[in-house]
Amino acid sequence: MNKTEIKKIDLSIYNEKLENGLDVYIIPKNTVNDIYVTFTAKYGSINTEFIPYGETEFYKSPSGIAHFLEHKLFEQKTGDDPFSFFANNGASNNAATNYNKTYYLFSGPDNFKENINYLLNFVQDPYFTDKNVEKEKNIIIQELKLYKDNPFRLGFQKIMFNSFHENPIKIPVIGTEEDIKSITKEDLYKCYNTFYHPSNMILTISGNVEPDEIIEIIKSNQENKKFHDKHEIKIKQYNEPDEVVAEEEIFNMNVSIPNVFIGYKINIEKFIEKISRKQIFYYLNGFLNIKFSSISKFIENLKEKEIINNDIDFMIINAKKHIEIIIQADTFKTKEIIKLIDEEIKINNIDINDFNRKKKSFLSSNLYMSESIYSLNDKISNDLIFDNEVSFDFYKTTDALNFEQFNELINNIDFNNKTTLIINPLDACQNNKD
């Protein structure tokens, strides 16, 4: 195993790529009495058009199939229930799918050998039938309907849909009802055989473990299994324009205060040549925090003028050649807040003292993260998916951030490609009729 030591934070990372291609990372943390394991496929909801294993032509899968596949892997041919197995073995387990990955996890300090063997076995032994696929459709459609009743989720999804033309990131991870109904067991096997090969997966173990002992358990499990040959996964690339699809949408649902969403679609390709994607995220995150955090002058001013009562939320979405910034607020002064936020985001009035304070806070947050076996674990798969390498040198990463580069990025971002969404209360719809 390769061993990387980060002495400043007293952290060691062990890594070995097995013969079948599985990337194994182990982070021993003997100061805790717990073990956290994630088994991650580099396969998320945006991977909808690809050349399946053993074929030569591109195939377009139904939207939401990565999430559907995650559900179905819990269906065992033996009838066993993975949730019951882990609960009986003193562990909790779950799974999740996002735009870029699907991961299966368990955590618990006891019965590690039995638990990790079970995790590897159930994920690597799919069992799809016409009957169990049909049964799952109604379950996921009900889940989809619950999402549509949530104004924040619905607002987020509509902003993404109104921002992107071609990129599958515009479609919710769960998919559409029409596509969910169309999924077959053949679709599931096609996606599974393409993306769930060990060479496209990451196994990460963090916590109170001994690396040499762990790697032997994993090797023993994998050596007893047969997999098809490794293959290059070819995923369709999209020529996504910079302009948004729709500049504005207004609709009504069951909310007490109008919800406002603003989505800024930013092309970062021209910046990548000089600034890494990771640095761009740091700079934008710092910019938005200084501008729109609860202690910012801008937010204090909005509260004093009673434009908002609560803080506003913001997030940054990685969409390949674009980044989507979404800002959300609850207010009755919808048009006014859109105007004020739009004016504020286009002004770079951040001085070097603000920048250096934020830079120190990044280092502090990263050091805090280094104490969490869950954050350390998740960072590995995210780094490998987005940057194709793992880095825990927080000091080096933070020190590389500089005020001149920050200004060059912020001053050259085009914030004009935006879409807005207002969700009004249902009674506003009635008032409009009157």
Q: How far apart are CA 44 and CA 97, in angstroms?
A: 6
From the candidates 70, 75, 240, 344, give the one annotated as an active-site residue. Answer: 70
Helix (H) or strand (E) holding 218: helix 211-223
10 Å CB burial of residue 84 (0-12, 13-18, 19+) is: exposed
What is the three-state SS of 125-162?
CCCCCHHHHHHHHHHHHHHHHHHHCCHHHHHHHHHHHH
The residue to which tokens 């995790």 are assigned: 119
Q: Is 315 helix (H, G, I), strand (E, B) or coil?
A: strand
Structure letter (DSSP) for residue 388: S
Q: From residue 358, give the alpha-carbon distance in Å to each of 19, 284, 291, 293.
A: 43, 11, 11, 12
> Two tokens at 181?
């109904």
The residue to which tokens 């109008």 are assigned: 258
Residues whose CB is less than 8 angstroms from the CB of residue 305 and which lie 6 or more positions away in sequence, other chains included: none
Please confirm, yes or no, whether 70 is among the known catalytic residues: yes
Phi-psi region of 21 (alpha: psi -120 to 50; beta: other; left: phi over 0): left
Q: Which residues are catalytic?
A: 70
